[in-house]
Structure 1
Amino acid sequence: MSRLIIWRHGNTDWNAANRVQGQTDVPLNDLGRQQAVDAADMLVRLRPDVIVSSDLRRASDTAAALAALTGVPVRHDDRLRERFFGQWQGLTMAEVKESRFAEWTRWRAGEAAIGGGVESLDDLGKRIAEALQAAADLVPADGTAVVATHGAAARQGVGHLLGWPAEVMRTLRALQNCHWVELTHDSGRGWQVAAYNVGPVSDKPVPPPV
């Protein structure tokens, strides 16, 4: 049975400010770097065979904390980038709501296409699921792959990989920073969820996956 860990990056200043990151290359802050170290201390026990990351710094630097403990090099895949949020990127969610209310309303309703140059959920799910499967294909039948990615990307990619309909995906809560999803796979049952939103204990509120 193989195992796939889908790991959200650590905290950033834009997370803390509730500012839309999307594919803007925002680095980890001090809290995020500590979260990455704490999470890596847990994930190293899974003995990953492969570590793959989004090429955005907040994910890549999160993955590097695990690579430092395991000696496994980080591979980069730009398909693992966060959802492209178009004209929302750089705005706080309050600013989005005020200046782009119709789009914000569609986003809140979970509609697949919301306008403003924001990537559709279908396109996001497809590219992330492809990258997740590619990472899983790098390990042997009993191996473990760890993939460092982003909040919206992780949720949509997992749902797409599992073949879930949109209404089921919306029941998943956002991953906390530096928390992960554990999937297992065997030839008889395919992909199954073994754990969700696992990670270091934190009393911080969950930033939105943007």
Structure 2
Amino acid sequence: MTRLIVWRHGNTDWNAERRVQGQTDVPLNDLGQQQAVDAAELLARLGPAAIVSSDLRRAADTASALAALTGLAVHSDPRLRERYFGPWQGLTMAEVAQTRPAEHARWTAGEPVIGEDIETLDDLGKRVADGLQAAAEKVPHGATVVVATHGAAARQGIGHLLGWPAEQLRTLRALQNCHWVELTHDPERGWQIGAYNVGPFTQRPVPPPV
């Protein structure tokens, strides 16, 4: 069966500040770069046949750490970008809660539509799932592909692939930086989740990624 590894990027300064990144092109910080190297050493042992990444730097640079070990090229796909958060981008979550309390309450409740031109969960899930499916089709049946993406994007894209309702998807904790999800696919069973939030180190729980 084909194996799909959905890998969240390493830490950034905006992650550390609990600042909303969305599609702002924020680079990895020193910690994030080291996380990518540490995770890549484990992922290389899975023998990936292809690497695909969001075109945002924090994901692309994370993927590059694995490419350096495997000799594989990194294929870029903008469908794997993080959720677009519109006017929230650049604000801390505390600032969002203070200045946009109604929208923040809808986000906290997991409502699919927040407003303010923020991408809906349905649109996000469909977009990222299309990118994940395309990545899986880059390798022969039975091979492994690694996809470097983002926290909210990963969760919604995976949920869409699995056909999970929103209520079930919300039971998944946020992916930690440079941790990943393992999915497998075969013609009889379709997509199945094999492992979740796997990584080379233990971190304290973090707020939902944005």
Query: What TM bracket, shorter-length normalisation?
Result: over 0.9
What aligned pairs does 1:51-130 form with structure 2 within 5 A after superposition? 51-130=51-130
- Counterpart amino acid of residue 111 in structure 2: E
Distance change >3 Å, CA 170–CA 103, structure 1 → 2: same
- For residues 185-206 of structure 1, give each alpha carbon's deviation from its aligned partner in whole angstroms, at most 9, with x where no partner exists: 1111111001000012133442
Contact 2:4 2:136 in 1 (8 A): yes
What's the RMSD between the two structures over aligned residues?
0.8
Distance of 2:138 and 2:12 partners within structure 1: 30
Query: Normalising by structure 2, what TM-score?
Result: 0.98
Distance of 2:92 and 2:43 partners within structure 1: 32
Residue matched to 2:153? 153
Which runs of at least 4 in structure 1 moved beyond 4 Å after TM superposition? none
- Counterpart amino acid of residue 86 in structure 2: G
Distance of 1:200 and 1:14 partners within structure 2: 22
Distance of 1:96 and 1:203 partners within structure 2: 25
- Counterpart amino acid of residue 164 in structure 1: W
What aligned pairs does 1:27-46 form with structure 2 within 5 A after superposition? 27-46=27-46
Distance of 2:56 and 2:186 partners within structure 1: 31
Distance of 1:13 and 1:37 partners within structure 2: 18
What aligned pairs does 1:20-31 form with structure 2 within 5 A after superposition? 20-31=20-31
Structure 2: runs of 5 or more not aligned: none
% identical aligned pairs: 75
Structure 1: runs of 5 or more not aligned: none
Distance change >3 Å, CA 207–CA 73, structure 1 → 2: farther
Q: 1:82 offset after TM fit, Å?
A: 0.1
Distance of 1:138 and 1:41 partners within structure 2: 22
Contact 1:15 1:207 in 2 (8 A): no
How many residues are aligned here?
210
Distance of 1:142 and 1:59 partners within structure 2: 25
Q: 1:209 offset after TM fit, Å?
A: 1.0
- Counterpart amino acid of residue 120 in structure 2: S
Answer yes or no: is 1:166 the counterpart of 2:201: no
- For residues 23-76 of structure 1, give each alpha carbon's deviation from its aligned partner in whole angstroms, at most 9, with x where no partner exists: 000000000000000000000001100100000000000000000000010000
Partner-residue secondary structure (3-state), 1:48: coil
- Counterpart amino acid of residue 98 in structure 1: Q
Residue matched to 1:14? 14
Distance of 2:12 and 2:204 partners within structure 1: 13
Distance of 2:128 and 2:80 partners within structure 1: 6
